[in-house]
Chains A and B, each alone.
Chain A
Amino acid sequence: MFDFLRRKLRLAHLRKGKPAPRTHRDLSPDLKTNLTAIRRELGASPDLIIRCLKLGSGAEGTGALLFIDGLIDQQVVNRDVIFPLLNGVKRGKFQDGDDLLKYLAQNVLAVGEVKKEPQFGPVVEALLEGETILLLDGHDEALLLSTKGWEKRAINEPDAERIILGPHDGFTENLRTNTAMLRRKITDPGLHFEEMKLGRRTRTGVVIAYLKGVVNEKLVEEVRARLKRVNLDMVLDANYLNEFISDAPLSLFPTVTFTERPDVVAAKLLEGRVAIFVDGTPVVNTVPALFVESFQSPDDYNFPFYYATFIRWFRYLSFFLGVLSPALFVALATYHQELIPTSLLITINAATEGTPFPLAVEMVMMGAVFEIIREAGIRLARPVGQTISIVGALVIGEAAVTAGLVGAPTIIVTATTAITTFVVPDLLGPGIYLRLIYTILAGVLGAYGILIGLLFTLLHLVSLRSFGTPYLSPLAPISAGDFKDVIVRAPIWALGTRPRMIGWPRPQRQPIGFPPSGDEGEEGEAEDDG
């Protein structure tokens, strides 16, 4: 049965689809034919504008400009394309026999990027991507004018990843804006971008970004290879690729990380990772992903290191509490009551007296209720959502206790879980599942059940890899040198080396430092040179 399922899954996953047929026809020299062909290809779309014009004095010629309304910058087209075409061809400069298209590109058109294209297919593609097409009667080539320009969202702080200190800009939906933001962070010639189009119908621009000289070349190749294998109809968000290229697509744990913050991406590139930008989404994937990355917040580096270390510990603690507290409570209260301090036991005993369900069921039930409230709170409009959360938490919890449906301790544990889960948002998904599994195991076999669950999770985690890097490193396999940014957050001057498992081609980040001496600054100077 499993095998059947597995085969089914694999088929679904790997079935090769044929790419949609693309026309490889050449353009015809006849303008009318070309226009008809394009009209036929795009249907009677009202946003396709065809502007026929006669070239200004100097060179005789009839032509047509084509563009999609809304994808181009009106001002650019009017001022820098149409106006020069109508007026700009000066007699004398242009001799008969010159290539008119070349002449136009070199002397007339005031746009940044001009390309010649003899084929029909790419012309249509360029049109759909927001370029303006110049077709001339009698020429079997078209000029593609880069006049892209559409409404963009302004840069603002990502909602999902708030920080207190540090830069507050976030990526937008526009690919170019995003890469530019990264360039602004890293002014290094080694910052390379590679673009490819993915998605047969969406033709989404996907950019691989990496820092040459820091990154492991094999990693880039692997990313390239995996992206090439992506065979999708549509790529609407970073997650579309995410699920396709991750090492363990069925694992609960994310082996590709994502962020909306340029500073985060910059930091990760500088550690030797590769970033994958997807056009149309502010979310940027980075690989390889490590388990411990989920516990690092950009704010860790914006605050003094002792405070950051402290907060990081609490993040670890919160995650384990969030995942384990219901299970531990169930195990303690139904199997290992001897471990509960006597006075506490009596209190809990009094509080749970008369509740109808077994504790494990109670726990799972309240967990489900909590998840529903949370989901409702997210989906609804913001003011209403908040009301839902408060009403849900207070009223349902209170009512359930008063009615004797569940014990008060259950509510307390669920609430603890609820709060602690949000501390590590990256692991929200795995957290929910693990919590449920552990709770059930605890209900069946007590602490032993939890141990079994933990061992299974451990085995799974250590066998995971993300683009060749062990997912649980540097914890297992241990690489003690990396603990400086995992167990603690060492002072910036002590973070002299990149994570060993990722940035090994060029491990040293800066002179491996001692506290910078504050007095003369000599030492610091010398180090800067080195």
Chain B
Amino acid sequence: MDQGKISAGQLTLLIMSFTIGSWVVLPTGIQAWQNLWLIMFMGLGTGLLFAYLSLFLFRRFPGKTLFEIHERVYGPVLGKFISLCFLWFFLQTGGGTLAIFKTLLRSTVFTATPDLAILVPLILILVYGCRRGIEVIARSNQLLIMSTVGLVLVSILLVVNIFNPENLLPFFNLPFSEVIWTSISLAVFPFGQNVLFMMILPRVNRWQKVNGAVLKGMIGAGLVLSTIQFLAVGVLGKSGQILVFPTYEFYRMINIAQFLTRLELIPLLNFLTMGFIKTILCLYALAVGTAQVFNLRTYRPLALPFGLFLLLVAERIFPSISEHMRYLEEVQTFFGLIFSLLLPMMTLGIALLRGLPRRRMAP
């Protein structure tokens, strides 16, 4: 198994990148357009609630990954089965992220390039990075997330001349039920997918600090996403609602002195690095999880086949981007709820009922 350790600060940044991951490119809850940046915070609150349920579980079993907890709580057979379900969830999350970025690249810059040419190099470095362990992932993420946050801050300056605050009105013109629905769907995606970190938390060198790190990471991600959405609404106005990639496309409107124009390539690549981190974490969770399910001594050889699976899934996950958007709007919430809320809650419930763990692990 991976012996690398990451610090709580690195965990915070990983959670930020992971959450920003794909939502930043393909946002959900577009029907709440002007208010999405506000509802984001409601979603964040709900998401934090979910996260803390899982964290509660983790703090009962410090130093154990989700899969090890499963085996403790459900016994080897049922535990393994539930772990396999989670593997499917990770595979789908990672593959979906890849698919989003593949579509983004193919519908903007590389219209003629075949899927494979885009995906294969990416998969290769994903596998390469995954084999190097969580330490390397966390460290490279530190630089990548910095550049993304920097980009967001800079873009605030860049859009000053085209930002129209009027576009943010009206506040809360939605029926209340829809606000709730949107915030729940936001809590599941992007925030709920953080359940994947249950595979990574044991790698944090000070598990007592995990709670704070998760809180900071998710709030940070919420702020970044909300800012981007805020800018997109202010710049694009209502026309953003008909765009496939509104959060990215508002960069197309930037025009500084007729010279700095068409800058969208920079956020495109920057967001791609966020997707890269998200996918690499999925790949890592897949490899480590499988290794734990089969009681292997190392996860490293599994990175390659799972990289391949991600490639296949990314190819065959959606017939088209509109199907993908439909999935995100209609299905994702239920699907995600099962994994980010129901299953951990069930595990926690059964653990509590069975009085596990029997002896306290650490003070």
User: Is chain B in direct contact with chain A in the complex (CB below 8 A)?
Assistant: yes
Interface flags for A422-453 (1: CB within 8 Å of B; 0: not) read: 00000000000000000000000111110110
Task: List the B residue with the shortest CB-CB distance to A470.
Answer: B139
- Residue A455 lies at the interface, judged by CB distance under 8 Å to chain B: yes
Give the size range of B's interface with the partner.
Answer: 20 to 34
Binding site for B on A (CB under 8 A): 335-336, 338-339, 341, 445-449, 451-452, 455-456, 458-459, 462-463, 470, 472, 475-478
Contact partner, A459, options B9, B10, B128, B263, Cβ 8 Å: B128
A448 touches B269 (CB 8 A): yes
- Which B positions have Cβ atoms within 8 angstroms of A? 7, 9-10, 105, 109-110, 113, 117-118, 121-122, 125, 128-129, 132, 135-136, 138-140, 142-144, 258-259, 261-263, 265, 269, 272-273, 276
Once bound together, how far apart are the Cα atoms of A445 and B114, in whole Å? 11
Report how far A271 CA is from B261 CA in the complex, Å: 46
* Chain A residues with CB below 8 A from B113, complex form: 445
The chain B residue with its CB closest to the CB of A459 is B129
> Is the CB–CB distance between A476 and B109 below 8 Å?
no
Name the contact of A446 in the complex, choosing from B110, B261, B273 (C-beta under 8 A).
B110
Q: B143 touching A475 by the CB < 8 A rule?
A: yes
Q: Is A462 in contact with B136, judged by CB distance below 8 angstroms?
A: yes
Q: How far is the CA of A51 from the CA of B109 in the complex (A)?
A: 84
Add 20 more A-B contacts to A335-B109, A339-B262 (CB < 8 A): A338-B262, A445-B117, A447-B109, A447-B269, A448-B105, A448-B110, A448-B269, A451-B269, A451-B272, A452-B121, A455-B129, A459-B129, A459-B140, A462-B139, A463-B136, A470-B139, A475-B142, A475-B143, A476-B139, A477-B138
The residue that A478 contacts in the complex, of B105, B117, B142, with Cβ under 8 A, is B142
**Could you give 13 example pairs across A and B, Cβ below 8 Å?**
A336-B109, A336-B265, A341-B259, A341-B261, A447-B265, A447-B269, A448-B118, A458-B143, A459-B125, A462-B136, A463-B135, A472-B139, A477-B7
The 7 A-B residue pairs with the shortest CB-CB distance, nearest first, are A476-B139, A462-B139, A463-B136, A476-B142, A338-B262, A459-B129, A463-B132
Query: B121 contacts which of A445, A447, A476 (Cβ < 8 Å)?
Result: A445
Contact: B140 with A476, CB < 8 Å?
A: yes
Residues of B within 8 A of A475 (CB): 142-143
Q: A residues within 8 A CB of B9? A: 478
Tell me the nearest residue of chain A to B138, going by C-beta: A477
Contact partners of A470 in chain B: CB under 8 A: 139
Closest to A340 in B: B262
Known contacts A335-B109, A446-B109: does B258 contact A341 (CB below 8 Å)?
Answer: yes
Closest A residue to B262 by CB, please name it.
A338
CA distance A67 to B121 in the complex (A): 65
CB pair B140–A462 under 8 Å, yes or no, is yes
- Contact partners of B143 in chain A: CB under 8 A: 458, 475-476
Q: How close is B134's CB to chain A, nearest CB, in angstroms? A: 12
Rounded to whole angstroms, the CA-CA distance of A507 and B139 in the bound complex is 23
